[in-house]
Homo-oligomer: A and B are copies of this chain.
Amino acid sequence: MSKLLDNVCSELQRLPGIGRRTALRLAMHILKMEEVSVDSLAKSIASFRHDIRYCASCNNLSDNNLCPICSDSRRDRTTICIVEQVQDLMSIENTGQYRGLYHVLGGVISPMQGIGPSDLKIDLLADKLLTGEIREVIIAISTSVEGETTLFYLLNRLKAFPDVKVTTIARGIGFGDELEYVDELTITHALINRREVTTNDEL
């Protein structure tokens, strides 16, 4: 086998979800692409890794000192939504329904993986709360054991700011989910958090 081909396949296989066969298929596709397109792909990978920064205010990925959200004057600066990772921020942004700021923890507390509170950007969050501008903190982290531990830790830290309202996103049955296949814990939460409806409601 050609060393160049073997090399590109081995490198591609380091990426998650890419096995030998997929790597080979990608390599064959790369071969058919224009040289300039391939250079542009390779360059975008390298410069993303070299030049990307973290927003000094919210820890989101950013090209500059402040991310596009933190530097957008139209955003509501009284609300902060805490998320685990950048992908979660993007999922919320995609709804187009949230106009506040974010805070990206960069993970959850996980003693198993050696991630403690000091590894998350919680001090950065506390700094923002100290300004007194924030009225509400929405905690939008996963319901895993690590997520719950992190939630508990955050709630304790947030006690230092009694004027700040703390909320978590609603847990319940997703739209389109069939009750039959939803796990018991989710159904339990959905029952506990049931709400009154009238025929006037918009749902």
Residue contact B45 to A2, C-beta cutoff 8 Å: no
Q: What bracket does the count of chain A residues touching chain B fall in?
A: 35 or more
Judge if A11 is at the interface, Cβ distance under 8 Å: yes
Q: Which of A18-26, A74-82, A124-132, A149-157 contacts B (4 or more CB under 8 A)?
A: A18-26
Query: Chain B residues near A123 (CB, 8 Å)?
Result: none
Report whether A28 and B87 are in contact in the complex, using a CB–CB cutoff of 8 Å: yes
Given A11-B40, A24-B87, A86-B28, A48 and B16 contact (CB-CB distance below 8 Å): no
Bound complex: CA of A11 vs CA of B47, how far in Å? 12
Check B15 against A52 for contact (C-beta < 8 Å).
no
Chain A 74-106 residues near chain B, CB threshold 8 A = 85-87, 90, 93
Q: Mark A25-63, 1 if CB is under 8 A from B, else 0.
A: 111111101010111111111111111100000001111
Closest B residue to A52 by CB, please name it: B4
A31 touches B52 (CB 8 A): yes
Instruction: Give me 30 A-to-B residue pairs in the complex whose CB atoms sit less than 8 angstroms apart, sorted by A's number.
Output: A1-B68, A2-B60, A2-B61, A2-B63, A2-B67, A2-B68, A4-B48, A4-B51, A4-B61, A5-B48, A5-B61, A8-B44, A10-B44, A11-B40, A12-B45, A14-B37, A15-B29, A15-B30, A15-B41, A16-B25, A16-B26, A17-B22, A24-B87, A24-B90, A28-B87, A31-B49, A35-B50, A38-B46, A38-B49, A42-B45
